[in-house]
């Protein structure tokens, strides 16, 4: 188990990882492939942690340097490379999983499809235990057409809601529901319909309102916008309806309701002195999250806390907290968003604490969260103006963009090639030969961390575009859009079957069928410790 795979990378097996999960000891079990292959199959608690982004993500997502880390891949060599990179970043307990994904399967481990599977399978478990009420797309459409006294509340992020939404729907992200609902639907007879794109967030949103004792009749829209489309009904696009601020009486009542739910879920309480102690302790990985809206966070937050709105935290926990068995600490002066998110995280077997007695005067830090990064390697740079001058002079150089595929398609420097850092050797076979390469990305650091590999593989001079793609745009230069010049496949992001408006009905139905099967898969896996209030 602790024997070496190569001279310096330790190996861990199925029994080691499973035992950590069963004992609820902390472990960072990291699937270091790109998100596309990760979504095809992975162990339940193998968090996606792509090799391409290790330097960008490591210090934020793995705050304790001696946390036990086990990397897994499908035999491509990514797990070993990731282990080497993590060790170089100062992590002291890094191993590779023996036999990769196939080794996990051969040992009897369950493999799961899709992304955010712990949260999605938990949502299905909640519905199976609590029989969360729901209405079909046809039933909700009839209520809208009959102009019934009702509100449709869309609990996704604003950008998802804005892309496509149920007619009449208003955007109220999940953790905001209990705080905002009384002012949105003051009459207790008003029917409340909660929707997301598929199932999880609408189930947990509906159940949040029920758990909090909201008097209105509440139902989830069964199967969300997918169900709406499968029923042959039209979705709205580009809507901007959002919740308004609430008065002090509403906020006080909501805080009492949310606290009662958190207490039932056995959520732990914390003080600012606990936070100070945990920031300096190294006995357990501790995550510090602010569950309010990004706007509130930017106006003032506790030092060292990361902005993760509560609904998204519950939906995508492993994206920001990949260490299973870690401590999670939540901040929200209103109490409501932290207590409601914590009530779900506690049921998902997290050691979760909510800070009591927070005052606005404690929120001394302003602005956006800054990702902690390792020291950047020294690189040769080129300015936007110098790049344009050299292009105009017909010099033999080529721009290579290491942004995500989605960002590249939205807009890139004209003539630039898209490449995945994790597949750089293959990408270089597809990219035209040039005397030198200029690397760019969004964020700029992705390109900076790739420069040494690019130089070593291409044997050509490599420069980094100062300021990356943002500098190009800020200088007022046009971008090229679309899938031009792809040197790597779009493997870095799994296309969710509920995204966008032109999805094949068969893919949508297959996604729903998969979600229905998650409770049985959870039982087979047996490592989750989930329970339902």
Separation CA 490–CA 154 (nearest Å): 29
The answer as to CATH 3.40.50.720 being correct for domain 381-474 is no
* pLDDT block averages, 10 residues each, the chain of length 533: 54 98 98 96 97 97 97 96 97 98 97 93 95 96 97 96 96 97 97 95 97 98 92 95 95 98 98 96 94 97 98 96 98 97 98 96 97 96 96 95 94 96 95 96 94 96 96 95 94 73 69 77 93 96
Separation CA 241–CA 9 (nearest Å): 53
Separation CA 433–CA 443 (nearest Å): 25
- Look up the CATH architecture of domain 121-241: 3-Layer(aba) Sandwich (3.40)
pLDDT score for 1: 37
Cβ neighbour number for residue 90 with a 10 Å cutoff: 11
- For residue 224, which of 216, 215, 210, 235 has the smallest C-alpha distance? 235
Domain boundaries, the chain: 10-114, 121-241, 259-362, 381-474
**Residues 13 and 84 sit within 8 Å (Cβ to Cβ):** no
Query: What is the phi-psi region of residue 196: left when phi exceeds 0, alpha when psi lies from -120 to 50, beta otherwise?
Result: beta
For 41-150, where are the alpha helices, taking DSSP H only?
Answer: 54-61, 78-88, 100-106, 117-130, 137-145
CATH topology of domain 10-114: Oxidized Rhodanese; domain 1 (3.40.250)
**Residues 51 and 424 sit within 8 Å (Cβ to Cβ):** no
- Among 2.40.160.10, 3.40.50.720, 3.20.20.80, 3.40.250.10, what is the CATH number of 259-362? 3.40.250.10
Burial 479-489 (b: 16+ CB within 10 A, else e): eeeeeebbbbe
pLDDT score for 500: 57
The residue assigned the tokens 């960002």 is 407
Same fold, 10-114 and 259-362: yes
- Element of type H or E holding 356: none
Separation CA 209–CA 93 (nearest Å): 43
3-state SS assignment for residue 242? strand
Instruction: Tally the C-alpha atoms within 13 A of residue 38's C-alpha that lie toward its C-beta.
Output: 29
**Residues 518 and 124 sit within 8 Å (Cβ to Cβ):** yes
3-state SS assignment for residue 389? helix
pTM assigned to the model: 0.94
């Amino acid at each position: 188990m602790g024997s070496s795979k190569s001279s310096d990378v330790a190996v861990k097996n199925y029994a080691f990882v499973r035992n950590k999960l069963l004992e609820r000891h902390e472990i960072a079990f990291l699937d270091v492939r790109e998100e596309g292959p990760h979504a095809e199959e992975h162990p339940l608690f193998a968090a996606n942690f792509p090799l391409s982004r290790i330097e960008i993500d490591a210090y934020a997502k793995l705050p304790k340097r001696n946390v036990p880390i086990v990397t897994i891949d499908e035999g491509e060599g990514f797990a070993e490379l990731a282990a080497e990179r993590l060790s170089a970043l100062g992590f002291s307990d890094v191993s590779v999983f023996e036999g990769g994904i196939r080794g996990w399967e051969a040992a009897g481990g369950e493999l799961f499809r899709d992304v955010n599977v712990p949260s999605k399978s938990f949502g299905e478990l909640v519905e199976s235990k609590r029989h969360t009420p729901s209405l079909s797309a046809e039933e909700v459409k009839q209520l809208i057409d009959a102009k019934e006294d009702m509100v449709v509340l869309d609990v996704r992020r604003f950008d998802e809601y804005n892309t496509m939404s149920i007619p009449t729907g208003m955007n109220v992200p999940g953790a905001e529901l209990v705080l905002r609902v009384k002012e949105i639907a003051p009459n207790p007879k008003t029917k409340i319909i909660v929707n997301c794109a598929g199932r999880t967030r609408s189930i947990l949103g509906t159940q949040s309102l029920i758990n909090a004792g909201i008097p209105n009749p509440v139902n989830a829209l069964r199967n969300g916008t997918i169900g709406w489309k499968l029923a042959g009904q039209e979705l709205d696009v580009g809507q901007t309806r959002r919740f308004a601020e609430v008065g002090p009486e509403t906020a006080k009542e909501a805080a009492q309701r949310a606290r009662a739910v958190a207490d039932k879920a056995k959520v732990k309480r914390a003080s600012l002195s606990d936070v100070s102690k945990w920031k300096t302790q190294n006995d357990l990985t501790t995550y510090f999250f602010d569950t309010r809206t990004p706007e509130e966070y930017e106006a003032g937050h506790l030092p060292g806390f990361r902005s993760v709105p509560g609904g998204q935290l519950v939906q995508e926990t492993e994206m920001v907290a990949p260490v299973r068995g870690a401590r999670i600490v939540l901040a929200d002066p209103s109490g409501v968003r932290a207590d409601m998110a914590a009530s779900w995280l506690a049921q998902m077997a997290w050691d979760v604490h909510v800070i009591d007695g927070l005052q606005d005067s404690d929120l001394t830090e302003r602005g956006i969260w800054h990702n902690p990064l390792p020291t950047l390697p020294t690189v040769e740079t080129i300015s936007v103006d110098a790049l344009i001058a050299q292009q105009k002079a017909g010099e033999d150089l080529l721009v290579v963009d290491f942004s995500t595929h989605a960002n590249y398609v939205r807009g890139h420097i004209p003539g630039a090639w898209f490449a995945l850092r994790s597949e750089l050797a293959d990408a270089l076979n597809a990219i035209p030969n040039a005397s030198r390469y200029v690397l760019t990305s969004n964020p700029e650091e992705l390109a900076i961390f790739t420069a040494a590999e690019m130089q070593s593989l291409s044997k050509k001079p490599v420069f980094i575009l100062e300021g990356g793609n943002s500098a190009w745009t800020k200088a007022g230069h046009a971008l090229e859009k679309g899938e031009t010049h792809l040197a790597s496949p779009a493997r870095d992001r799994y296309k969710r079957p509920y995204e966008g408006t032109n999805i094949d009905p068969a893919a949508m139905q297959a996604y729903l069928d998969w979600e229905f099967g998650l409770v049985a898969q959870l039982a087979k896996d047996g490592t989750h410790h989930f329970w339902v209030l």
